[in-house]
């Protein structure tokens, strides 16, 4: 199967990105033909400093590589290294009804958060559809918040096939891959962990910073001895993502019976987080010491990605009669 997904370089990646997206990227690279990219064209809707965008783009590449994305198995590229993307986005935009974009919650959310209501933000889902359709993707691993964008992608593909394909399939219809257990990772304040809420723990935060942030996770005021409901506690939810099964069973039992304090859970969570990412932290230091190697990965992947993209773009151009 062809797997494809992207992640925006709009800041350091956090553990919501890890469980919602990156971990699936790594799992799926083994038995599939995987394409992953750094969505720098998309990030332009929020990052407005060229040097900063370049630095974030590099950082996201390094983060993916450090976490175990294997450049010999997966094609790990940068979106703007394949300018065919923007051409396809235009072709798709000609068959995209305004109403579909108007109902997109991510646009409304971002404008509410203070981003200006620019056309790029409005047309963001069309560019995302181009990313996906350009590589004949079968499966797109993402977190829950991207579900609507995947639906629009399918709708646009179907409409293009209908309008220009004359019944023939120009684009393959992709499916989302969303793991329910990690669909929404909570942040320090209990809302969805997100850069835009300032409630994140970054994957590569220093151990001392991880400990400090974990202490800030919001809990209720149930005393140590009292029974607690693990299902409604975001600290427990985070702990569940990191704990070994026997440790989790013990903590769950003590929640339900009473006798465990949130302070203890926080200490164990911070330790588990630090331990989980320790090997990746070492690999990261290694990649950072050899930036030339990251550039080599990027260049080789761009070439592979572009060859695939070219074939699909030509198919789309022929179908609609340009060129």
Backbone angles phi, psi at 262, to 5 degrees: -60, -30
**Which residue's Cβ lies closest to ligand ADP?**
20
What does the per-residue mask of binding to ligand ADP show for 168-207, with x meaning CB under 6 A? --------------x-xx------xxxxx-----------
**End-to-end Cα separation, the chain, in angstroms:** 30
168 is catalytic: no
Site for ligand TRP in 37-56 (CB under 6 A): 39, 42
192 is catalytic: yes
CA distances from 37 to 14, 25, 263 (A): 17, 11, 39
Query: Of 195, 213, 228, 266, which is the active-site residue?
Result: 195
Residue whose tokens read 């990105």: 17
- Which helix or strand (DSSP H or E) is residue 162 part of? helix 147-165
Residue whose tokens read 């939810």: 237
Residue whose tokens read 């235009």: 90
User: Which one of ligand ADP, ligand TRP, none is in contact with 85 (Cβ closer than 5 to 8 A by kind)?
Assistant: none
195 is catalytic: yes
Q: Interface with ligand TRP by CB under 6 A: which range of 22-30, 139-147, 155-163, 285-293?
A: 139-147
Within 10 angstroms of residue 271's Cβ, the number of other Cβ atoms is: 15
Give whichever of 124 and 287 is closer to ligand ADP, judged by the CB atom. 124
Q: What is the token pair recorded at 14?
A: 């956090």
Site for ligand ADP in 14-53 (CB under 6 A): 16-17, 19-21
Pick from 115, 135, 23, 129: nearest CA to 75: 135
174 SS3 class: coil
Tell me how far, at minimum, the Cβ of 292 lies from ligand TRP, in Å. 27
Residue 121 near ligand TRP by CB under 6 A: no
- Which helix or strand (DSSP H or E) is residue 290 part of? none
Count the residues in the chain.
323
Tell me how far, at minimum, the Cβ of 129 lies from ligand TRP, in Å. 8
Tell me how far, at minimum, the Cβ of 37 lies from ligand TRP, in Å. 7
Which residues are identified as catalytic? 110, 192, 195
Contacting residues toward ligand TRP, per CB under 6 A: 5-8, 39, 42, 128, 131-132, 140, 142, 146, 149
């Amino acid at each position: 199967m062809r797997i494809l997904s992207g992640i925006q370089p709009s800041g350091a990646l956090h553990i919501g990105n890890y469980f919602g997206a990156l971990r699936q990227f790594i799992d799926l690279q083994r038995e599939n033909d995987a394409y992953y990219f750094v969505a720098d064209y998309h990030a332009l809707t929020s990052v407005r400093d060229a040097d900063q965008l370049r630095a974030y783009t590099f950082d996201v590449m390094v983060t993916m590589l450090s976490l175990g994305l294997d450049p010999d198995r997966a094609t790990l590229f940068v979106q703007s290294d394949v300018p065919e993307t923007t051409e396809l986005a235009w072709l798709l935009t000609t068959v995209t009804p305004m109403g579909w974009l108007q109902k997109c919650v991510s646009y409304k959310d971002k404008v509410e958060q203070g981003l200006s209501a620019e056309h790029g933000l409005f047309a963001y889902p069309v560019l995302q559809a181009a990313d996906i359709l350009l590589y004949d993707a079968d499966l797109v691993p993402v977190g829950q918040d991207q579900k609507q964008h995947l639906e629009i992608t399918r709708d646009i593909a179907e409409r293009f096939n209908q309008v220009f394909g004359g019944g023939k399939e120009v684009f393959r219809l992709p499916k989302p891959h969303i793991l329910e257990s990690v669909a929404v990772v909570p942040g320090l304040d209990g809302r969805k962990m997100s850069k835009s809420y300032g409630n994140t723990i970054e994957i590569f935060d220093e151990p001392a910073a991880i400990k400090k942030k974990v202490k800030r996770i919001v809990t209720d005021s149930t005393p140590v001895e009292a029974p607690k409901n693990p299902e409604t506690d975001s600290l427990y939810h985070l702990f569940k993502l990191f704990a070994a099964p026997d440790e989790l069973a013990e903590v769950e039992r003590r929640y339900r019976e009473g006798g465990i304090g949130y302070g203890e859970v926080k200490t164990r969570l911070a330790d588990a987080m630090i331990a989980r990412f320790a090997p990746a932290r070492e690999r990261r230091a290694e990649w950072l010491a050899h930036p030339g190697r990251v550039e080599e990965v990027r260049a080789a992947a761009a070439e592979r990605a572009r060859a695939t993209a070219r074939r699909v773009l030509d198919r789309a151009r022929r179908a609609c009669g340009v060129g």
